[in-house]
């Protein structure tokens, strides 16, 4: 079955009837009822249907289609009904949001599908307030599937395409009517003439309309229009793009003779079809609506204007009132010369020559114009022997010119001076100005912005600071970013072994921060030093635990800083476990632990009761047993302990065992 359907789809003719492709869709007015009396049989593309594509019993395609295009002018719900002329015919449909897209993206873009209905049973279909909230897939004829989808909400300003696909291979046709929803798809703008321009030979008028209007409302004999010039009539009218669309917004009127110089009116009237031009809602332009225009004696196109130039321009853009023939412009730029206070050379010119001419000529200079002044672009005969010829065959006179002004380029580079302090650094910034600079935009790291030419910033935190400056003279601008190093932070820091055994040496490691720093040490033992990293210090044997205060003063050319740390010299470093302790929280002998175990490496200390139950275990010399087990105080009794460790100085491994009395 799939093969048969595929072959059948391939045998369909290409869709060539107006309205059967997305690009030629019928324009919709909300009040319109479309009556398609016949549906040509054709198909071109397979379609993606959300939730349905891949169904082995269905082939989704734009089969025997007609397309309808509309814009939403007020957001709301969209209602419509498709009614077959033959009640046994099966019609399907799908709605797309093509806002800003090529209409043919309906065949490739799965993200623009709004809703649809592909039910297999015949009869009317469309949208209703209580329709199904999903896309009904194709199905067998059984009369049970809903042929109506829930009304979708459409969005103001968006453009939509509605596909009506005739699954049944007949040409009996259908009617399509819009209504029942709250969205507005009727353009409230009344139709009018917008602009008119004249051909070079004054025998044609090019008319622009204010909106899309029906091609079929324009009479080809021009009877919809008159001109006020005596003896001259409109003899033909052609809508632009009417060969492949239903509507137009531009048309060309042909006159019986050239219009002479003067002021004239183009007036619209009821043509031989008894109406003027109609918009898609069949509203006509009011008879008598007119456009006034002037016919001037044919003159060469002047050097009209130059687009505003930027800083240091290297391309100059000339703009003309009429298109200039590309063939009359020498590519090397020899039709032009630039004069001014400093030399400027032309390298080439460029134009958009797709239609043989362009109103814009870009002059490419060999180098940017950096220096201030007023410069003039003048026209001369190029290497081709002529100046510029417009599309009406008129040459712009040699010597025609336009002028432009540039200002000097600017430089944002700056200098600075640092005044170092102990807590705050003060930085003065300097920009020389010049070249008309009148705007400074500084960002001084965390110190914030400034618009002064020479700002001052105060930094309480030392380190690298990012400074940016943008300068402008109202024409040119420049910016620069620099990092300045406030590396004068001074901080006295040192590391030492704060607890030492008698006759051991205290080692001092200077970790101070600063530049060009002098150091003064006082070790508290009667010795001092001015070295950055002093020699190790010994402390006298006193037989009691003694604390010495070690002081380091760090001083640079601007300030100083002091750090004092204690060094505790123990009375003994003999490792032992007390034979009794009293955990009564009186601050004396409240804990059991290895005393003086500062040099015990890889230590393991354990406490057991008489039954051999492990009550406490520690691997750190400063952890202590408080006489409890699982939070419960233990009875006064004798407890066994074991101690294992490696002596840090000798590397010898020790295993000790003993007992201690817990006294309550």
193-295 is a CATH 2.60.40.1130 domain: yes
Task: State how far the Cα of 270 lies from the Cα of 87, in Å rounded to an integer.
Answer: 41
| Total Cβ atoms within 10 A of residue 325 | 18
Cα–Cα separations (whole angstroms), residue 79 to 20, 150, 154, 184, 306: 22, 9, 10, 10, 53
Task: State how far the Cα of 556 lies from the Cα of 602, in Å rounded to an integer.
Answer: 44
The 10s digit of each residue's pLDDT in 286-308 is 999 999 999 988 888 898 899 99
Q: What are phi and psi of 515, to 5 degrees?
A: -120, 145
CA-nearest of 428, 354, 357 to 392 is: 357
Please list the residues that pair with 61 across neighbouring strands: 46
CA-nearest of 399, 479, 490 to 442 is: 479
**580-662 and 193-295 share a CATH fold:** yes
Contacts of 574 (CB under 8 A, 6+ apart): 595, 596
Please list the residues that pair with 46 across neighbouring strands: 61
Pairing state of beta strands 653-662 and 580-581? parallel
Domain 305-406: which CATH number of 3.40.50.2300, 1.10.287.130, 1.20.1440.230, 2.60.40.1220: 2.60.40.1220
pLDDT of residue 56: 46
Residue with tokens 């398609």: 36
The verdict on pTM exceeding 0.75 is no
Q: What is the gyration radius of the CA atoms in the chain, in angstroms? A: 48
| CATH class held by domain 494-569 | mainly beta
DSSP secondary-structure letter at 513?
B
| Total Cβ atoms within 10 A of residue 495 | 11
Task: State how far the Cα of 504 lies from the Cα of 539, in Å rounded to an integer.
Answer: 8
Task: State how far the Cα of 95 lies from the Cα of 154, in Å rounded to an integer.
Answer: 10
Would you give the distance in Å from CA 92 to the centre of its chain? Answer: 40
The 10s digit of each residue's pLDDT in 369-418 is 999 999 999 999 999 899 999 988 899 999 999 999 999 999 999 999 99
The 10s digit of each residue's pLDDT in 211-234 is 999 999 999 999 999 999 999 999
b/e map 341-380, b = 16+ CB within 10 Å = eeebebeebbbeeeeebbbebebebeeebebbeebebbbe
Q: Calculate the dihedral angle through the C-alpha atoms of 316, 317, 320, 324, rounding to the nearest 10 degrees.
A: 90
pLDDT of residue 298: 83
| Total Cβ atoms within 10 A of residue 587 | 6
DSSP secondary-structure letter at 299?
-
pLDDT of residue 7: 36
Name the CATH superfamily housing domain 415-486: Immunoglobulins (2.60.40.10)
Q: What are phi and psi of 8, to 5 degrees?
A: -60, -40
Domain ranges for the chain: 2-178, 193-295, 305-406, 415-486, 494-569, 580-662
Q: Is 209 within 8 Å of 108 (Cβ atoms)?
A: no
Tell me the three state secondary structure of residue 408: coil
| Total Cβ atoms within 10 A of residue 589 | 13
Residues of the chain with pLDDT under 70: 1-12, 54-58, 140-145
pLDDT of residue 10: 43
pLDDT of residue 244: 87
Tell me the three state secondary structure of residue 328: helix
pLDDT of residue 58: 63
SS3 content of the chain, % helix, strand, coil (to 5): 5, 45, 50
580-662 is a CATH 1.20.120 domain: no
Structure tokens at 542: 């006193």
Hey, which bits of 511-624 come out as E strands? Answer: 518-522, 528-529, 537-538, 546-555, 560-569, 580-581, 600-608, 614-618
Structure tokens at 606: 């354990």
pLDDT of residue 375: 97
């Amino acid at each position: 079955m799939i093969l048969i359907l595929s072959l059948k789809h391939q045998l369909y003719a290409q869709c060539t009837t107006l309205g059967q492709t997305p690009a030629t869709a019928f324009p919709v007015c909300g009040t319109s009822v479309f009556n398609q009396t016949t549906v040509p049989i054709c198909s071109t593309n397979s379609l993606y249907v959300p939730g349905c594509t891949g169904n082995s019993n269905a082939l989704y395609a734009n089969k025997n289609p007609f397309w309808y295009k509309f814009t939403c002018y007020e957001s709301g719900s969209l209602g419509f009904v498709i009614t077959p002329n033959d009640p046994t015919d099966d019609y399907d449909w799908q709605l797309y949001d093509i806002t800003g897209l090529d209409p043919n993206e309906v065949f490739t873009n799965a993200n623009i599908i709004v809703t649809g209905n592909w039910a297999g049973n015949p009869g009317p279909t469309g949208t209703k307030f209580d329709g199904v909230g999903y896309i009904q897939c194709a199905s067998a004829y059984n009369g049970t599937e809903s042929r109506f989808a829930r009304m979708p909400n459409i969005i103001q300003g968006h453009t939509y395409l509605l596909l009506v696909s005739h699954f049944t291979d007949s040409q009996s046709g259908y009617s399509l009517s819009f209504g029942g929803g709250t969205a507005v798809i009727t353009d409230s703008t009344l139709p009018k003439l917008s602009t008119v321009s004249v051909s070079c030979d004054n025998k044609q008028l090019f008319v622009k309309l204010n909106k899309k209007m029906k091609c079929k409302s324009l009479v080809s004999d021009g009877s919809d229009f008159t001109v006020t010039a005596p003896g001259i009539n409109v003899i033909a009218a052609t809508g632009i793009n009417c060969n492949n669309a239903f509507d137009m917004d531009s048309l060309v009127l042909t006159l019986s003779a050239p219009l002479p110089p003067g002021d004239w009116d183009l007036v619209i009237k009821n043509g031989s079809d008894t109406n003027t031009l109609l918009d898609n809602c069949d509203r006509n332009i009011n008879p008598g609506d007119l456009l006034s225009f002037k016919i001037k004696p044919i003159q060469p196109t002047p050097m009209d204007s130059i687009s505003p130039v930027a800083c240091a321009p290297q391309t100059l853009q000339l703009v003309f009132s009429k298109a200039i023939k590309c063939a009359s412009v020498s590519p090397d730029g020899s039709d032009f010369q630039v004069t001014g206070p400093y030399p400027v050379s032309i390298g080439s010119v460029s134009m958009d020559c797709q239609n043989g001419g362009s109103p814009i000529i870009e002059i490419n200079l060999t180098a940017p114009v950096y220096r201030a002044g007023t410069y003039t672009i003048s026209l001369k005969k190029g290497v081709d022997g002529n100046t510029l010829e417009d599309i009406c065959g008129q040459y712009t006179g040699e010597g025609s010119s336009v002028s432009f002004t540039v200002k000097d380029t600017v430089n944002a580079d700056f200098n600075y001076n640092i005044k170092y302090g102990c807590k705050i650094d003060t930085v003065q910034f300097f920009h020389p100005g010049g070249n008309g600079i009148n705007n400074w935009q500084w960002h001084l790291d965390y110190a914030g912005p400034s618009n002064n030419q020479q700002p001052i910033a105060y930094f309480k935190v030392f380190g690298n600071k990012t400074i940016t400056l943008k300068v402008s003279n109202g024409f040119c601008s420049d910016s620069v970013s620099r990092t300045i190093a406030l590396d004068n932070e001074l901080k006295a820091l040192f590391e030492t072994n704060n607890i030492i055994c008698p006759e051991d040496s205290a080692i001092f490691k200077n970790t101070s921060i600063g530049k060009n720093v002098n150091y003064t040490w006082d070790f508290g033992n009667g010795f001092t030093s001015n070295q950055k990293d002093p020699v190790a210090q010994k402390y006298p044997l006193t037989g009691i635990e003694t604390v010495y205060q070690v002081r380091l003063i760090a001083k640079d050319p601007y300030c100083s800083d002091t750090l004092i740390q204690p060094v505790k010299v123990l009375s003994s470093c003999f490792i032992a476990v007390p034979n009794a302790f009293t955990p009564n929280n009186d601050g004396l002998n409240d804990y059991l632990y290895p005393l003086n175990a500062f040099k015990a490496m890889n230590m393991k200390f354990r406490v057991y009761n008489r039954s051999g139950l492990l009550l406490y275990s520690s691997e750190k010399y400063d952890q202590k047993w408080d006489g409890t087990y699982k939070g419960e105080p233990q009875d006064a009794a004798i407890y066994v302990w074991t101690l294992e460790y490696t002596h840090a100085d000798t590397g010898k491994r020790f295993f000790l065992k003993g007992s201690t009395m817990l006294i309550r």
